[in-house]
Amino acid sequence: MNTTTEQITQLQGLRLRPKRNFVNSTLTFIRKKPLGAMGGFILIGMWSLAIFADFIVPYDPLALHPRDKLIPPDSMYLMGTDYLGRDVLSRVIAGAKVSMYVGLMTVLIGTGIGSVLGQISGYFRGTFDLLVQRLIDAIQAFPSLILALAIVAMLGPSLENAIIAIAFLNASNAARVIRGATMAINENQYVDAARALGASHVRILTRYIFPNVTAPILILASITLGNSILVEASLSFLGLGTQPPTPSWGRMLSSEGRFYMEIAPWLAIWPGVAISMAVLGINMFGDALRDVLDPKLRGR
């Protein structure tokens, strides 16, 4: 009976240990990286707005109310209204859905493709690596925003084409970073031992290379997310990203925010604050995540 009780207690302890370790790790992260934790809370808030936007918005972000146009912030419209009588708060919340969707898709597509390409390039090297790196050098020779503008101009202004352009830029950056990490890992003795035992290239890449470049991929994805949101806002500001009537932070700055800056400054202030908070929160969380996951910075 005592043996059975001890086994049950041990099993319960094993079940609770991961939760306890997760809670302790989270509390330690908050205590040691308060700015990173603040950025994480901002990121969680932005994702919450994006996911539950349809249930949070006080008004329909596309509904027109000509009688209520250009009303300053008050108790009824907390962020005021635009030149068509649309609630700015509702449009800012709805714009979070667009920005987070663009950021997520560009990071998944760009970082995913770039990571695979970087691992293959850094592992096999040779002619393939030379061709890939020269292509990346040619891509990175142009400013990222100019190149994104050129791609969207060729494909046509739309949200999907903006995602393709931003993902293309993210892929080139990810390929360069992950290639360097793969080359360093490829020199370790356990990779040589696996190769000597007859392990295939696919097995070495999936079993030994990929698990060790996961941390750089996560760090790169967290940092790239903020830049993707900023580039999307820039493209929408120039009329090449999100198309009306879909609410977008960059589009709000470009249309009503720019033309009504003097008589209705709130039209530019609130979308600008949303973009700044999102990018700042993501960058703070990404820097803290880099300090935690990067062994070279862990002791600082």
* pLDDT per residue as tens digits for the range 53-100: 888 989 988 888 888 888 899 888 889 888 888 999 999 999 888 888
pLDDT of residue 36: 84
pLDDT of residue 141: 87
Identify the CATH number of the domain defined by range 32-60+89-250+268-293.
1.10.3720.10
Parts of the chain with a pLDDT under 70? 1-20, 22, 256-257, 294-300
Q: Which pTM value belongs to this model?
A: 0.80
Enumerate the domain spans of the chain.
32-60+89-250+268-293
Q: DSSP of the chain, one letter per residue?
A: -HHHHHHHHHHHHHHHHHHHHHHHHHHHHHHH-HHHHHHHHHHHHHHHHHHTHHHH-SS-TT---GGGTTPPS-SSSTT-B-TTS-BHHHHHHHHHHHHHHHHHHHIIIIIHHHHHHHHHHHHH-HHHHHHHHHHHHHHHTS-HHHHHHHHHHHH-SSHHHHHHHHHHHHHHHHHHHHHHHHHHHHTSHHHHHHHHTT--HHHHIIIIIGGGSHHHHHHHHHHHHHHHHHHHHHHHHTTSSSPTTS--HHHHIIIIIHHTTTT-THHHHHHHHHHHHHHHHHHHHHHHHHHHH-TTTTT-
Share of the chain above pLDDT 70, in %: 90
